[in-house]
Chain A
Amino acid sequence: MKWFKKVGWRHAVGVVAVVFSLGPILFVISAAVNPLGTLSSSQIVPSGISLDNFTKLLRDTDFGQWFLNSVIIAGTASAVAVFVSALAAYVFSRRRFRGRRTGLLSLLLIQMFPQFLAVVAIFLMFATITDYWPVIGFNTWWGLVLLYLGGALGVGTWLMKGFFDTVPRELDESATVDGAGHAQVFFRILLPLVAPVLAVTGLLAFISTINEFIFANIFLTDSSAKTLSVGLWGLVAAEQRNTNFGMFCAGTLLTAIPTVLVFQLLQRYIVEGLTSGAVKG
């Protein structure tokens, strides 16, 4: 009884939480290996094991292409976003200039406007762009990447500024004395020091981009141009909801694999980075 009061209740809470967390995931796994592949026949314990859903997904849909599109779009967008916000965070942290406070506050404010309500304006804008420069228009990687980059500064400028602030100024001052320019201080001294937070911001940006649905759904209408979220959503839309459920769950699991891997790899950094303020979007 004393053990329960000291330690046991902690395990009890932990086990209940794990059950709550894993229940739906177990259901997804079991539905993915369910040989019938329908929602109505899916249970939390699989009735049989087969890889039919996976083979069907890879054979009958453009899943491989969707995966590639998602990884390239989310990868490019998050990498550029991290770089661009690191640049901004550097001057916000290290330089005093007119409009600094205003700039920081406007960044916060602009994020508060629900950007996707501008979807009509964005649609009209990209319709024109598609006419002029089809390479960066609808159904292309670049079009969507550019659109996502519109929010690049919001991704991590504040978070990174906080990290830059913790790096002692003496470091860059001494480098300046040794003759380093502002670009050298940034690239050679500060960037390597804040590498963990770059990784975390990049990962967060990657996750939120790969989950983005509204704009991708409007931008990508060709099946070969779709991202995972748009493609998978199409699998369970309307009447196919019941029949394609197994395939959908198989796709969900495949989508999760890279994220889970990177997550476990970066877990230490993530806890540290998240505490400094960021929301999964």
Chain B
Amino acid sequence: MTTQLGGPATRALPAPEKKVAPEPRDRSLASQIIKITLLGLVVAIAIWASFPLIENKAWIGLALLAATTAALLYLYLTPRHIPAKYLAPGTLLLIVFQVFPVLYTASTAFTNYGDGHRGTKQEAVVAIQTASVTQVPGSIEYALSVATTGDPATGPLVFLITDPATRAVSAGDAGGLRKLDPADVTVTSAGKVTAADGYTVLTFGQASLRSKEITALAVPVDGGAIRSSGLSRAYEGKAGRVYDAGCDCVRDTTTGKTWTADGKVGAFVGEGGDRLAQGWKVSVGFSNFTRVVTDPDISGPFLRTLVWNFVFAIGSTGGTFVLGMLVAVSLHSKRVRGRNLYRVLLVLPYAMPAFAMLLVWRDMFNKDFGLINTFFGTDVDWLGQPATARIAVLLVQLWLGYPYMFLVTTGALQAIPAELSEASRIDGAGAWQSFRRIVLPLLMVALTPLLISSFAFNFNNFNAIYLTTEGGPFAPDNPANGATDLLITYTYRLAFGGSGAQYGYAAAISIFIFLIVGTISAIAFRRTRQQEEVYA
């Protein structure tokens, strides 16, 4: 008995280890199940995503999807490439939703992409001709019935038009016009088509839902196009401007003036240098970049904006840092009672929603009923004058940003051993000297990386300007560039502003911004590292 009992007893020592040993396998079984489920989910999503691609014959997209899925399956089933397993999810998201759009944008910096330069030359010619179609005296008027070959709500639209004289019915779409066999159509005495073989005639209700498409549809005919006028009448208009392939130019049929195609600028240019509004997208090389330097109308505002942009970024970062540090240093003393209360109250602005507080500040600076003028009894048009508007946005930045600097400086101060400044005091240094020589350098080591990222963030602080001044006030002679504009709000206005989008030029400025911020940050980070070597 004893020996029998003794047997297991002697093995009792390694037993707990044995108990531990199978556990990883248990977990790995569980993790295997999780892994297989997740991979199954990936495959399921891929299959779900592939149907619309197949339906729309988007073969490139389908190939990319299949390749990505296969790569993911391989990556997570092979025991190799461990770092890639951890980097794949974030990198995939990064590439699809950030790198790809950014690269695409950057590539437009070398084109004239924008309003009037969106499509191909062929599209521009069609647009010019169709846009110039007008109803001239003597234009033939037709009775119009709108039909489709597909679903009434989404199918391609066809115009069924009845000739007023012959009552012959023709069908027309963007491809052209062709006659229908009179036996296939039923026409009322007013010329309205009620039924036609192979077409579904839209009811008035169905047609009015698609009135925008109907207005946009032009059926090209010799020398012009047939367009709708309302939902039941159409006219054959004459194109005022016609493309002539012989001279590669557009000719105005009434005045005889010509505009010759210029492949370099992607537009039809007249003899006097005037351009037709409809052009096409071409590569323009570096001209978007050189324009910033050479065109005096642009380089002047650009330089002014750049200078103010630096003032704003340095002012915001420096101002918040100095104030935040001042408050943090002041409250960093055991003799100050209620430090926690101070801290809770001071941090409140940081926790308020920034976008909303920017709008509140905008209204507080309002000239007529803003709080600031009422409270101080002044009558200053704060956001209406360049100087005060700049002070105002910097003040808003100070308010929004200094609690954060206060928090981080407090944290950094707590990490500095009190013995250091005590020792310097004993050695005879004054309070200021000990702060200047001991505390500040140590603070800077901890906080410089933060100040750099704060600078980079403020350099492109779109919300701070857009939600308060929107870049204004604007000089009357230059509505495109305001006194508080940062490069980024200026670029935004170029790309999406009311006076015609200039995506290519806006993209070029984005690259400038990227280079400026990137260079400054790189230099600053390098210097910090040297600093750390000195003090660490």
Residue-wise, chain B 398-423 has the 8 Å CB interface mask toward A (1 for contact) of: 01010110111011101100000000
Return the contact of B52 from the options A133, A210, A214 (Cβ within 8 A). A133
Whether A22 touches B348, Cβ cut-off 8 Å, given contacts A114-B488, A152-B93, is: yes
CB pair B411 A275 closer than 8 Å: yes
Residue-wise, chain B 66-109 has the 8 Å CB interface mask toward A (1 for contact) of: 00000000000000001100110111011011111110110010
CA distance A142 to B350 in the complex (A): 28
CB pair B82 A120 closer than 8 Å: no
* Across-interface contacts of A111 in B (CB, < 8 A): 456
Looking at the complex, which of A47-55, A56-64, A166-174, A180-188 is the stretch in contact with chain B?
Answer: A180-188
Q: Using a CB-CB cutoff of 8 Å, which residues 96-131 of chain A contact chain B?
A: 97, 100, 103, 108-122, 125, 131
- Tell me whether chain B's interface is mostly helix, strand or loop, or mixed: helix
Residue-wise, chain A 244-281 has the 8 Å CB interface mask toward B (1 for contact) of: 01001101100110011001100100111011011111
Minimum CB distance partner of B518 in chain A: A112
CB pair A115 B87 closer than 8 Å: no
Q: Using a CB-CB cutoff of 8 Å, which residues 162-192 of chain B contact chain A?
A: none
CA distance A115 to B93 in the complex (A): 14
> In whole Å, how far is A3's beta carbon from the nearest beta carbon of chain B?
10
CB pair A113 B510 closer than 8 Å: yes
> In whole Å, how far is A92's beta carbon from the nearest beta carbon of chain B?
8
CB pair B450 A153 closer than 8 Å: no
CB pair A116 B514 closer than 8 Å: no
B345 in contact (CB, < 8 A) = yes
* Across-interface contacts of A183 in B (CB, < 8 A): 31
CA distance A157 to B91 in the complex (A): 12
* Across-interface contacts of B90 in A (CB, < 8 A): 84-85, 87-88, 152-153, 157
CA distance A11 to B348 in the complex (A): 18
CB pair B460 A13 closer than 8 Å: no
CB pair A7 B87 closer than 8 Å: no
B453 in contact (CB, < 8 A) = yes
Return the contact of A113 from the options B327, B404, B514 (Cβ within 8 A). B514
* Across-interface contacts of B415 in A (CB, < 8 A): 275
Minimum CB distance partner of B21 in chain A: A179
CB pair A21 B403 closer than 8 Å: yes
CA distance A157 to B108 in the complex (A): 30
CB pair B453 A210 closer than 8 Å: no
CB pair A132 B407 closer than 8 Å: no
Q: Using a CB-CB cutoff of 8 Å, which residues 329-388 of chain B contact chain A?
A: 330-331, 333, 335-336, 342-357, 359-361, 363-364, 366, 368-371, 374-375
CB pair B105 A91 closer than 8 Å: no
CB pair B102 A25 closer than 8 Å: no
Return the contact of B355 from the options A146, A181, A211 (Cβ within 8 A). A211
Minimum CB distance partner of A105 in chain B: B522
CB pair A7 B335 closer than 8 Å: yes
Q: Using a CB-CB cutoff of 8 Å, which residues 303-325 of chain B contact chain A?
A: 323
Whether A277 touches B355, Cβ cut-off 8 Å, given contacts A40-B368, A97-B83, is: no
We find that the number of chain B residues with CB closer than 8 angstroms to chain A is 103
CB pair B98 A259 closer than 8 Å: no
B513 in contact (CB, < 8 A) = yes
* Across-interface contacts of B102 in A (CB, < 8 A): 110, 113, 115, 118, 121
* Across-interface contacts of A277 in B (CB, < 8 A): 449-450, 453
B424 in contact (CB, < 8 A) = no
Whether A150 touches B98, Cβ cut-off 8 Å, given contacts A97-B83, A178-B20, A256-B353, is: yes
CB pair A110 B94 closer than 8 Å: yes
* Across-interface contacts of B56 in A (CB, < 8 A): 131-132
> In whole Å, how far is A32's beta carbon from the nearest beta carbon of chain B?
11
CB pair B507 A117 closer than 8 Å: yes
Residue-wise, chain A 154-179 has the 8 Å CB interface mask toward B (1 for contact) of: 10010000000000000000000011
> In whole Å, how far is B370's beta carbon from the nearest beta carbon of chain A?
8
* Across-interface contacts of A153 in B (CB, < 8 A): 90-91, 93-94
CB pair B97 A147 closer than 8 Å: yes
CB pair B101 A121 closer than 8 Å: yes
Minimum CB distance partner of B107 in chain A: A121
> In whole Å, how far is A39's beta carbon from the nearest beta carbon of chain B?
5
Return the contact of A117 from the options B89, B93, B506 (Cβ within 8 A). B506
CA distance A90 to B348 in the complex (A): 33
> In whole Å, how far is B492's beta carbon from the nearest beta carbon of chain A?
8
* Across-interface contacts of B350 in A (CB, < 8 A): 263, 280
A4 in contact (CB, < 8 A) = no
Return the contact of A146 from the options B97, B331, B453 (Cβ within 8 A). B97
Find the residue from B346, B352, B374, B462 having the highest chain A CB count within 10 A. B352
Return the contact of A24 from the options B360, B407, B410, B514 (Cβ within 8 A). B360
* Across-interface contacts of A280 in B (CB, < 8 A): 350, 354, 401, 404
CB pair B457 A281 closer than 8 Å: yes
Return the contact of B331 from the options A10, A213, A255 (Cβ within 8 A). A10
Whether A43 touches B460, Cβ cut-off 8 Å, given contacts A22-B345, A25-B352, A117-B495, is: no
Given contacts A118-B105, A121-B105, A184-B31, 16 further A-B contacts (CB under 8 A): A10-B331, A17-B323, A21-B345, A22-B348, A91-B82, A100-B83, A112-B517, A113-B510, A116-B462, A152-B93, A179-B24, A183-B31, A211-B354, A252-B353, A264-B344, A274-B408
- B interface list, Cβ under 8 A from A: 20-21, 24, 27-28, 31, 49, 52-53, 56, 58, 82-83, 86-87, 89-91, 93-94, 96-102, 104-105, 108, 323, 326-327, 330-331, 333, 335-336, 342-357, 359-361, 363-364, 366, 368-371, 374-375, 399, 401, 403-404, 406-408, 410-412, 414-415, 446, 449-450, 453-454, 456-457, 460, 462-463, 467, 488, 491-492, 495-496, 503, 506-507, 510, 513-514, 517-518, 521
Leading 10 A-B pairs by shortest Cβ distance: A150-B97, A40-B369, A118-B101, A121-B101, A150-B98, A275-B411, A132-B52, A13-B330, A153-B90, A271-B411
Selected A-B contacts with CB under 8 Å, 7 pairs:
A6-B335, A149-B93, A150-B93, A152-B94, A242-B369, A255-B353, A274-B404
